[in-house]
Amino acid sequence: MAIDLSKVKSKLKDLNSKNERVNHTWKPEPGTQIIRIVPYKFNPDFPFIELLFDYEVTKRSVLSPLTYGRPDPIDEFAKKLKAAGSSDDYKLGKKIEPKERFYAPVIVREQETEGVKLWGFGKTVYAELLKYISDPDYGDITDLENGRDITVEFKTAEESGKSYPTTEIRVKPNTSIAGDNNVLTAIQNQIKIEDVYKEPTYEELDALLQTYLNPEEKAAEEGNNTSTPTPTSDVKTTPDANTATSAKDLNDKFAALFDKNKSK
């Protein structure tokens, strides 16, 4: 039996994409770290980048085309669910709709040789950063000559005593230069975020949505294509049993809703 080259190419693409993210993004480790937000080379007037991601259906962070004003089949389905009239449908629609994530280019102190990284954070941290910048006592904290470093304190769920990890920021009171010529070179060589988070096609997202809604059909298809399934450590795209059941029930209800509307 010949190897399926399309699957090989797909896996290679996923690995390359994962490597791009690891090399060019930054996540705080548990504890305290110091960073400096620097100007975004591709939009010098505003360092923050606002993106939308599909998480629930895709089971991994996949950029939503809504980010650029283009249609996303997952978002379209979520809107239909929220408009269906059922409380459960509305909740699931909210659960699967694209979610906001914010990014800023940063230099991590004591890791300056690694260049500029893209730091991703939620709405709470974003709002706090904007408040600092709008405060005349702080001003443009990204300024290369008179900006300010930021202390980032990350706590795991266990450490924070909550059901989720927390991130707290404190902007330093004293101004400082961003760094030496090596840092300036790194700022000039920073990567464009579109090269890290690539936009999938409408068809690719629709295929993931159909897998989410019809996991049994996907499993049967894969079973017919190979006699000895091989476990993989890659990110899974098939929901677990509980999610699969609710998604199938939801799909049946939604199909019935359409049939009802057609008969009117």
Question: Exposed, middle or buried, 71 (CB in 10 Å: 0-12/13-18/19+)?
Answer: exposed
- Residues in the chain with pLDDT values less than 70: 1-21, 217-264
Pairing of strands 49-54, 99-108: antiparallel
Distance of CA 252 to the CA centre of its chain: 29
The continuous run of DSSP H or E covering 159 comes out as: helix 157-160
Q: What is the pLDDT of residue 160?
A: 87
Q: What is the pLDDT of residue 254?
A: 46
* Per-residue burial over 150-187, b = 16 or more CB atoms within 10 Å of its CB, e = otherwise: bebebbeeeeeeeeeeebebebeeeeeebbeeebeebb
Distance CA 221, CA 153 (A): 46
Q: What is the pLDDT of residue 188?
A: 94
The continuous run of DSSP H or E covering 100 comes out as: strand 99-108
pTM confidence score? 0.75
| pLDDT tens digits, 244-258 | 445 455 455 445 544
Please give the CATH architecture assigned to the domain spanning 25-212+233-263.
Alpha-Beta Complex (3.90)
Q: What is the pLDDT of residue 145?
A: 95
| pLDDT tens digits, 9-46 | 555 455 445 556 678 999 999 999 999 999 999 999 99
Distance CA 73, CA 18 (A): 24
